[in-house]
């Protein structure tokens, strides 16, 4: 850690919360330089739905490197890329009757968001984008504008506050306020001051924003409203896509068909940088090369990504397993919430993303720090930092899931005891 502390910019984040140096990892487990083992409920901030260094993909990856498969990421056509396109189309898009074109943007979520926004603006000729309170879409300027958390906007507010309208997310306001109705109202009323936007960008569950879960009826209503007003719907599925909620896409159970979908994080299956924008063919108005970049085809990621789909998404077995684990996790967490009402104010989740909301940020960070000492990596989220977010690998073995929950419960008990005294 000395080199990191000395030479890395102040901007470094996770290495402050988890101040050790990690060496190797496998499935749900990661080790540090002192050979201490941690169960990983952070999972690369959602980038490891299939666990660390998944052995099914690892061999394919090493083979590809060994045989000198093309590595570099220019958007040339390669065998690895064509294979991925083929597999993604065959096992993901076709069975779901989704006819998207695929855009390989720079291999980060934020770049995919940038591409989606730009395309929406080009297609519609409008600049405004509707986004939501507590929305999180990345840190490059086009995406940061859409990101609500004031910490990220600090010092840049004077420029960011443009071409964006923030709408209360589901549940942001108390009472019977329905923000979908509100959106419909301001789009319908020519006195609202809200210019008709190019698109709305939407997380079905706000991951970074505090695990806020939108019900499917609300998503359906939003889809109807966007169609009514002829504005595009972009679903940012970077954190909760790729199976996190059970289905491959988080919006499947709502039965909606977004105009664009952003994917990243767990897409490569191996934690490698990769991103994908799905675009309805009728709005694929890009000029060749108009959104470009050096790493638009991370071939190593294509190799593992294709393998991940073949391994886990040929049928609905994996979805069932995830939902079974989800039931268990949520049941236990709710019991923990019941047992510690003094410090836990809410427990919620869907699939294998879950939140334990604490009374305040201090309590939450005390719990996660205690858990870390005892071998569990888990982070807080939300604009207040009072929410503990569970993101275990989807294929986590039951033993590790149980043990992780146990460490968490003990940490809660330990902190609650202190508070009760």
Site for a copy of itself in 132-171 (CB under 8 A): 132-135, 138-145, 147-166
How remote is the C-alpha of 277 from its chain's centroid?
14
Q: How far is the CB of 4 from a copy of itself (least distance, A)?
A: 5
| Closer residue to a copy of itself, CB minimum distance, 170 or 409 | 170
Question: Taking CB under 8 A as the rule, which mask of x and - marks residues 222-261 in contact with a copy of itself?
Answer: ----------------------------------------
Kindly state whether residue 16 participates in binding a copy of itself, applying the rule CB under 8 A.
Answer: yes
Q: Please, are residues 408 and 378 in contact by the beta-carbon 8 Å criterion?
A: yes
CA gap 361, 365 in Å, rounded = 6
Among 62, 95, 339, 398, binds a copy of itself (CB under 8 A): 62
DSSP state of 146: T
| Closer residue to a copy of itself, CB minimum distance, 66 or 230 | 66
Among 36, 37, 82, 282, binds a copy of itself (CB under 8 A): 82
Q: Find tokens 């850690």 and name the residue.
A: 1
Neighbours of 65 (CB within 10 A): 13
* Strand-pair category, 37-40 with 29-32: antiparallel
- Applying the rule CB under 8 A, the residues between 368 and 407 that interact with a copy of itself are 382-384
Q: Which of 184, 185, 147 is nearest to 164 (CA)?
A: 147
**Structure tokens belonging to residue 38:** 């941690």
Q: How far is the CB of 415 from a copy of itself (least distance, A)?
A: 23
| Closer residue to a copy of itself, CB minimum distance, 217 or 285 | 285
CA gap 411, 14 in Å, rounded = 20
Stretch that binds a copy of itself, among 79-87, 221-229, 250-258, 408-416 (CB under 8 A): 79-87
CA gap 153, 126 in Å, rounded = 24
Kindly state whether residue 72 participates in binding a copy of itself, applying the rule CB under 8 A.
Answer: yes
Cα 218 to Cα 108, 223, 254, 407, distances in angstroms: 28, 9, 9, 36
| Closer residue to a copy of itself, CB minimum distance, 317 or 373 | 373
Among 107, 241, 258, 392, binds a copy of itself (CB under 8 A): 107
């Amino acid at each position: 850690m000395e080199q990191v502390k000395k030479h890395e910019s102040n901007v470094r984040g996770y290495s402050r919360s988890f101040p050790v140096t990690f060496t190797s990892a496998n499935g749900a487990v990661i080790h540090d330089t002192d050979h201490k083992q941690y169960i990983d409920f952070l999972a690369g901030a959602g980038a490891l739905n299939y666990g660390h260094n998944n052995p099914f993909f690892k061999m394919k990856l090493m083979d590809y490197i060994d045989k000198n498969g093309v590595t570099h990421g220019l958007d040339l056509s390669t065998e690895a890329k064509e294979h991925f396109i083929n597999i993604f189309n065959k096992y993901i898009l076709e069975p779901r009757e989704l006819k998207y074109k695929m855009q390989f943007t720079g291999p980060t979520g934020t770049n995919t968001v940038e591409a989606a926004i730009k395309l929406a603006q080009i297609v519609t000729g409008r600049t405004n984008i509707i986004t939501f309170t507590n929305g999180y879409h990345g840190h490059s300027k086009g995406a940061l504008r859409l990101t609500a958390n004031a910490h990220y906007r600090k010092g840049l507010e004077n420029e960011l506050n443009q071409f964006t309208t923030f709408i209360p997310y589901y549940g942001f306001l108390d009472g019977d306020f329905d923000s979908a109705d509100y959106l419909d109202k301001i789009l319908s009323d020519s006195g609202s001051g809200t210019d008709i936007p190019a698109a709305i960008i939407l997380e079905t569950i706000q991951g970074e924003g505090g695990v806020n879960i939108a019900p499917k009826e609300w998503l359906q209503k939003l889809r109807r409203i966007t169609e009514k007003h002829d504005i595009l719907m972009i679903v940012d599925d970077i954190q909760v896509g790729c199976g996190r909620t059970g289905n491959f896409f988080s919006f499947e159970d709502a039965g909606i068909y977004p105009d664009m979908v952003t994917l990243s994080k767990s897409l490569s299956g191996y934690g490698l940088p990769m991103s994908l924008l799905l675009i309805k063919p009728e709005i694929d108005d890009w000029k060749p090369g108009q959104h470009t970049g050096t790493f638009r085809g991370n071939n190593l990621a294509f190799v593992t990504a294709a393998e991940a789909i073949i391994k886990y998404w040929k049928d609905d077995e994996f979805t069932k397993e995830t939902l079974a684990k989800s039931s268990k996790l949520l049941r236990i967490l709710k019991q923990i919430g019941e047992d510690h009402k003094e410090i836990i104010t809410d427990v919620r989740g869907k699939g294998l993303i879950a939140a334990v909301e604490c009374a305040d940020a201090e309590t939450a960070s005390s719990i996660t720090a205690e858990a870390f000492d005892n071998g569990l990596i888990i982070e807080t989220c939300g604009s207040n930092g009072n929410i503990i977010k569970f993101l275990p690998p989807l294929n986590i073995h039951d033993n590790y899931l149980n043990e992780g929950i146990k460490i968490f419960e003990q940490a809660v008990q330990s902190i609650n005891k202190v508070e009760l005294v």
